[in-house]
């Protein structure tokens, strides 16, 4: 039997936390509690703790939770105020754990990072295997597979890539070919998975962090040839995504040229077509409003499909809308003939809620996600409808957030009041969204401004930045790029307003800041 005094329970709790992050929100909560309890078994001298010696930086960082507590003084909705306090408890619990516990050894820190990478890689592997074993029809469904929300997981994927890239670079002169090959394979797998999983927030964070990393590397390299190579790669990181986006937009707007007087007026069965010339919605460059004979389309569909015309699929979408868009995407008419030209796989796609045959891809292809985003914005601009359109809804969320900020610029609306404030802003903006779709800004910076105003946002930024400067922990390359990746990711979602997102950020922030002042704890040889 092991003797309890020889077991570093704090380190064991951290290992559990690393494994929990990509797998289970419930286990993350348990890990947080265990981390705090175990810190008492691995504590500093009580005199050091009570005097806040060498830990004032984490004390300042934990004051972010104090902002939420102060915001409760202005709340009109205790239910949502308690919800905010509960989900942001990591900002209090985790720094306190590191304030109580003794400093970890360098080897332990590196091992924790490696364990985290293995855990994330394992979660990604299980996710991709589960997707293909489930015989899904579209890679767009990939985000529904996995253990945690896809945006939060993409943040962990990007950080894992940062860890592997930095460790590979720092140890490039050492003869550890087996370990280096393993790290390179893991980097390749995680990069491919990131694009396969199609979280645009994660991909933009990855590209932005990569660009900054290459920029820094280019200035550090001494040989001109190496600088030139780094510069070319740096340019490609910008040009290739921009060129691909340009191609996707041009492809989307490669629209049929329609001569209205030449439109056929009857189906092959002799029934009249309806042509809605005012409907400018597109599918693969074909107008959705042309060549409609709904009675024929409905009768034909109900003879070939299990899910009937007026039914809804498992995602709540109307089959008739999906069918019309799918037919249009294949340049088929919305009549009996068009339906009968569908293959069995097309019918299965429509019943699965796939509205465009281009989206029925299972491999690594970013085009379906980009197409959906362009379609959402195009449809939103033409109709004003944003319901169930992720990117379009974000525009509505941003408009509502800015309306709230204008009225509560300095101190925000307070903890818990954001729910009602957003509801009122959507009504004031005359948003066409269903009230069930109302939500927050999906932007961490706007979210802080809504809740706490400019004063609160500035304090939160100070509480994050000052400890980095004072401890010089930003000099650690892994920690530096970790912060850069979150800087980008927080433009795409309010990550710190989720339990997984805040736990992920606060844990690694506390881990690196508590690792000591001045010099990096990692081997920077």
Predicted confidence pLDDT, tens digits, the chain (525 residues): 344 456 789 999 999 999 999 999 999 999 999 999 999 887 766 665 555 555 789 999 999 999 999 999 888 888 999 999 999 999 999 999 999 888 888 899 999 999 999 999 999 999 999 999 988 878 888 888 899 999 999 999 999 999 999 998 887 767 677 788 889 999 999 999 999 999 999 999 999 999 999 999 888 888 888 888 889 999 999 999 999 999 999 999 999 998 888 899 999 999 999 999 999 999 999 999 999 999 999 999 999 999 999 999 888 889 999 999 999 999 999 999 999 999 999 999 999 999 999 999 888 888 999 999 999 999 999 988 888 888 999 999 999 999 999 999 999 999 989 999 999 999 999 999 999 899 999 999 999 999 999 999 999 999 999 999 999 999 999 999 999 999 999 999 999 999 999 999 999 999 999 886 434 445 433
292 strand-pairing partners: 274, 334
- 280/271 Cα distance (integer angstroms): 24
The tokens of 386 are what?
A: 């944003």
As beta bridge partners, residue 318 has: 312
C-alpha 114/C-alpha 110 separation (Å) is 6
Q: Using CA atoms, how far apart are residues 246 and 464, in angstroms rounded to an integer?
A: 37
CB 204 within 8 A of CB 487: no
| Selection from 61, 23, 25 nearest residue 499 by Cα | 25
CA distance 330 to 338: 9
Tokens of 127: 């996710």
Q: What is the DSSP letter of 216?
A: H
Residue with tokens 């990007």: 158
Residue 329: which of 388, 244, 252, 269 has the closest Cα?
252
Report helix angle 25-39 to 499-513, nearest 10.
Answer: 30
**Residue with structure tokens 């024929």?**
296
pTM over 0.95: no
Going by C-alpha positions, the residue among 191, 193, 183, 192 that lies closest to residue 163 is 183
Terminal CA-to-CA distance of the chain, rounded, Å? 40
Max distance between CA atoms of the chain, in angstroms, equals 92
Distance of CA 122 to the CA centre of its chain: 19
Residue 312 has what DSSP assignment?
A: B
d(CA 23, CA 28): 9
């Amino acid at each position: 039997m092991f003797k309890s005094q020889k077991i570093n329970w704090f380190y064991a709790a951290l290992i559990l936390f690393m494994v929990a992050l990509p797998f289970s929100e419930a286990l993350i909560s348990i890990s947080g509690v265990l981390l705090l309890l175990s810190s008492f078994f691995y504590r500093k001298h009580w005199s050091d703790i009570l005097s806040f010696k060498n830990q004032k930086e984490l004390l300042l960082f934990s004051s972010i939770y104090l902002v939420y507590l102060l915001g409760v003084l202005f709340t009109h909705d205790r239910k949502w105020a308690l919800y905010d306090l509960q989900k942001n408890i990591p900002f209090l619990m985790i720094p306190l754990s590191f304030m109580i516990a003794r400093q970890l050894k360098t080897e332990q820190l590196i091992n924790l990072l490696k364990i985290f990478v293995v855990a994330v890689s394992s979660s990604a592997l299980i996710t991709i295997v589960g997707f293909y074993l489930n015989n899904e029809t579209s890679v767009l469904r990939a985000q529904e597979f996995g253990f945690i929300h896809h945006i939060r997981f993409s943040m962990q994927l990007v950080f894992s890539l940062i860890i592997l890239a930095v460790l590979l670079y720092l140890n490039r002169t050492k003869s550890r070919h087996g370990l280096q090959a393993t790290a390179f394979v893991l980097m390749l797998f995680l990069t491919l998975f990131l694009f396969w999983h199609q979280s645009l927030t994660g991909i933009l964070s990855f590209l932005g962090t990569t660009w900054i990393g290459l920029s820094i590397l280019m200035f550090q390299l001494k040989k001109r040839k190496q600088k030139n190579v780094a510069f070319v790669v740096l340019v490609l990181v910008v040009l290739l995504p921009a060129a691909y986006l340009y191609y996707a937009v041009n492809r989307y707007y490669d629209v049929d040229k329609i001569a209205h007087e030449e439109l056929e007026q009857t189906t092959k069965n002799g029934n009249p077509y309806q042509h809605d010339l005012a409907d400018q919605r597109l599918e693969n460059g074909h107008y959705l409003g042309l060549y409609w004979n709904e009675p024929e389309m409905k009768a034909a569909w109900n003879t070939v499909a299990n899910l009937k015309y007026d039914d809804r699929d498992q995602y709540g979408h109307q089959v008739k809308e999906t069918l019309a868009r799918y037919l249009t995407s294949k340049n088929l008419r919305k009549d009996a003939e068009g339906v009968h030209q569908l293959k069995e796989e097309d019918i299965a796609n429509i019943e699965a809620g796939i509205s465009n045959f281009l989206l029925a891809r299972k491999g690594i292809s970013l085009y379906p996600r980009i197409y959906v985003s362009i379609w959402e914005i195009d449809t939103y601009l033409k109709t004003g409808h944003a319901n169930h359109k992720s990117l379009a809804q974000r525009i509505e969320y941003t408009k509502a957030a800015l309306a709230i900020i204008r009225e509560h610029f300095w101190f925000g609306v307070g903890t818990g009041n954001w729910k009602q404030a957003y509801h009122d802003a959507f009504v004031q903006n005359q948003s066409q969204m269903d009230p069930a779709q109302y939500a927050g800004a999906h932007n961490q910076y706007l979210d802080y401004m809504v809740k706490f105003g400019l004063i609160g946002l500035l304090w939160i930024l100070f509480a994050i930045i000052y400890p980095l400067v004072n401890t010089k922990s930003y000099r650690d390359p892994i920690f530096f790029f970790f912060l850069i990746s979150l800087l980008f990711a927080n433009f795409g979602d309010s990550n710190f307003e989720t339990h997984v997102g805040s736990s992920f950020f606060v844990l690694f922030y506390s881990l690196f800041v508590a690792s000591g002042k001045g010099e990096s704890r990692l081997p920077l040889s």
